[in-house]
Amino acid sequence: MNFLPSKNWTLALFAFAAICLIGFVFYRTQYAPKETFRLALIGSDTQGVSIGQDTLKDTDADGLPDWEETLWSTNPQAGDTDGDGTDDGAEVREGRDPLVKGPNDKLDVTEGAVQGEGAGVSPTITDKLARDVFAKYLSLRQQGTPVDSETSTSLATAALQRVSVPQPKTYAASNLIIQNDESTAAIHAYANALGDIVNRYGKPNVDHEIVIVAEALSNNDGKRLDDLSIIVESYTKVIGALLKMPVPKGAAQAHLSLINNAEAIATAIDEMRLLFSDPVAALAGLELYKTASSELGVSLETLYAYAKSRGVTFLEGESGTDFFANQIY
């Protein structure tokens, strides 16, 4: 968490993590339901697809381009992978599984057909997106529409845009303890109290959340994400303390924004913990994190401008100096 990270450092880390996470979603989301189909969106850990390759190349002349053979895990050197007498391309166009011998090899794209789903198991956001993309892809193939790698990526991108970001809890002004005293001394005390709260609750002894996500991705280490729970707990404590402190009425709106954006960040980080079990939900969380982090920065700038306009200055070593470090220096 480190509630007040350097703005440039945070943005750089976010950009890196976002690239990694998008790559994770596109390269590791598997469509492998009940052995009925094995479409991997752009590839898998063992089979990658180069977007720039010749998308028309069809080595075995079965109507299924080589890049698509990789997605289906079919053999690009054999026109009829499952040996049932029907070429792979024809099976896909007919809505059949090219890896299962006919005639009872219809592809299943129903609610329970996504990898990881079973009786009593609710589909994840990633499961739903997988089903959505696959259904649209299959529809294009059955219509005889050529589907190159760019089209496949476009289908996935469009589906991602329909994913709803998690909705954090929101607070209203009525949840605040607003005081009428707006003297320089009162505002000075308020600013230092903000710093005290962050110093006490907002600096857990773990790496920054984006560092954790990036390292988890880089090392394929789901256990690394456990530290995100510590950060979420830290945010929760900060928010609780911010709600209990007296707030000068002139700072109320910015203070409320600070709380709501901190709540949104906590929600986003909690979603990012799902990186390996539901990567699309984690991506939605990362998008929320990006927005809320930016808005939280605006809240801090507004609070600092308010304090400064009322003649408040901070001495080195004061909690308020730490709290507004990015604005002061």
Tell me which amino acid residue 309 is.
S
The C-alpha atoms of residue 62 and residue 81 are separated, in whole angstroms, by 10
Tell me which amino acid residue 72 is.
W
Question: In the chain, where are the structural domains located?
Answer: 7-23+165-328, 31-161
Helix residue ranges, H only, the chain: 7-28, 66-72, 88-93, 125-142, 149-161, 184-201, 209-219, 227-244, 252-272, 279-309, 319-323, 325-328
Are 81 and 188 in contact by the 8 Å Cβ rule? The answer is no
Q: For position 275, what pLDDT does the model report?
A: 84
The C-alpha atoms of residue 54 and residue 66 are separated, in whole angstroms, by 9
Q: What is the mean pLDDT of residues 272-297?
A: 86
User: Is the predicted pLDDT of residue 158 greater than 60, yes or no?
Assistant: yes
**Which is higher by pLDDT, 198 or 109?**
198
User: Is the predicted pLDDT of residue 35 greater than 70, yes or no?
Assistant: no
**Which is higher by pLDDT, 125 or 76?**
76
Q: Tell me: cis bond preceding 103? Omega within 30 of 0 counts.
A: yes
Question: pLDDT tens digits, residue range 5-16?
Answer: 444 444 444 444
For the ranges 26-35, 133-142, 294-303, the one whose mean pLDDT is highest: 294-303
pLDDT tier at 160, thresholds 50, 70, 90: low
The C-alpha atoms of residue 89 and residue 67 are separated, in whole angstroms, by 12
Q: For position 157, what pLDDT does the model report?
A: 65
